[in-house]
Structure formats: structure tokens, C-alpha cells
Amino acid sequence: MPELPEVETIARGLAQNLTGDVIESVWLGNKPEPLKSPPGEMVSTLEQARIAGVRRVGKHIVVDLSRQSPVASRRQTAVRSLRRDGGAQAQWIVHLGMTGRLLIAKPEHEIPKHTHAILRLRSGRELRFVDPRRFGRLAVVRHGFQAPGSEPLDVGFELFAGLFCGRKTPIKSALLNQRLLSGIGNIYADESLFRAGVRPRRRAASLTRAELQRLYGAVQEVLNEAIAAGGSSVSDYVDSNGDAGFFQFQHRVYGREGEPCLVCRTPIKRIVIAGRSAHYCPKCQE
């Protein structure tokens, strides 16, 4: 499932390529699972809307929509720059699920199987949502979309540490709890815990302040490095241009069960915590 770095990479690519373009028409497939908003409402909201910006919120891609004229838009540039949503009147929310993709394509390019939405743009391009397993979700909202948890790249240390205070759940499970931190998944939880020297089974409440400081720094470091590398392509993830990420080549524990630790050469172990896999080094992590 795409995590924060992958979603951030896609959102940045879409923002760079699509901001200012206009959605002229919308095609939706006949599978009901991806649609969290009624098809008619989605079409009426998207058609003839200008893409004011694209950004990531947690694991969601948020496409800010505006119906302002270009002249009015230019006049209000200074005001809009102070607002994160760019003065959006509505938003298209995309959650990629496990196998979802948002791809920019030319109309003449073959439409992939399992395409569930096509936005035809004034520039002559198309934005296609493709999702073989149909766990992805599409919705439109009229008010500012917010993720349930704190933003890992924006949260301060004191708030970060407070999220785990008194929690008896394993720290790995706490990191995956989207109501605490929005965007972290299996890969980056494992990698962050390794760099912090903390075992995934440790109770969250048992971490000392020093350990929490190491974990806080590791989360920031891992996420930023992964974004710089375009995310991790361990399955079928690609960005909006169809390009794979490269951070999988920097994984130190995730997916390396039985292989030697890159620090101490101890074989990496894999365990299951609350139904989710966890990879760690028995020697480097306490």
C-alpha cells in the first residue's frame, strides 16, 4: 500500500503538471467500490473545475478545485498564497488503497484494465485512476479535508511524544495507528524503529524520552529520504508519470528477513504484530 512518501511523490508530480488545468469532462466506471461520493455529485463537482493545486494529507491526495476565472485568480494570488487550500471551493479526495494509481496520459494511449475514472483536461491530457484490487477510494467534499491524525513531517517533538504516553500497545502498532500519525505504514515504521534502535514489540508507554527523541528523529529522517528517492517500489507502485521509486534499495530491515543486518550482520527477523509483519534486528534494537 502506498505510504506517505509515495503519496507525497505522486501529489508533487500532479501539482507540478496539472495546476491551472481545467477538467472538461469525467468518465466513471461501473464498479461501485471506489466511489465514496455519488457518481452524479462527483461528475458535477469535477466538470469545468480548475485544478487550483494538488497536495497530500496523510495518505490521501487532495485535488483543490476552483471555478474562479483566470483574471480573478490572478488578482487574488496574494490572498490565496496564505491559504493552504488555494481558496478551493471543493476538493477531490483520492486514497490509493493497495494498488491504486493516478496516471497522466495522452488520450491515444491504451486505457489500462481496471481503470475506474478518467478526467479529460483542457490541455488535451487525461488523468486516469487505475486500481486492480479496488481498495482505493474517490470522493468529493465541499469543506476542507483533514486527516484524523497528526502530520508526521509537521508534528513537534512534544506532541509526538505525547501520542504514545500511557499506551500499552506495541510501538509498531502505535506508529501504524492513523488516528495518531497519518501516513506511516509498515515500511517506514520498520525502518524508523531500526534507526531508533527500538524493537517493534516494545510497549509504546515504555519508551524513555531519549528513545522517543531518537524515534522522532528517525521518522523525520526516513520519510524525507524516501520522498527524495521517489518512494519505495516494492510491489506495483509508480508515480503519476509511471516511474518507479528507489528507496527500496535503501531498506535496512523491511523485506530483508534472514538477511544479515547491515550494521552488525545478525540475521533480520520477521514477526507478526496484530496481523501486520514487522522486521527488526535482534541485536541493534532493544
Which amino acids are annotated catalytic? 2-3, 59, 276
Q: What is the DSSP letter of 134?
A: -
Residue 161's nearest CA partner among 180, 182, 147, 188 is 180
Residues in the chain: 286
Distance CA 228, CA 234 (A): 16
Rounded CA-CA distance 163/144 in Å is: 24
Burial tier of 39 (Cβ tally within 10 Å: 0-12, 13-18, 19+): middle
Strand ranges (DSSP E) for 100-254? 101-105, 115-121, 126-130, 137-141
Distance CA 138, CA 92 (A): 7
Identify which of 23, 122, 120, 21 has the alpha carbon closest to the alpha carbon of residue 73: 21
Query: How many CB atoms within 10 Å of residue 105?
Result: 19
The residue type of 227 is: I
Which amino acid is located at 276 in the chain?
Answer: R
**CA dist., res. 30 & res. 117, Å (int):** 10
Residue found under cell 469525467: 26
Lookup: cell for 271: 514477526
- The Cα–Cα gap between 145 and 139 comes to 11
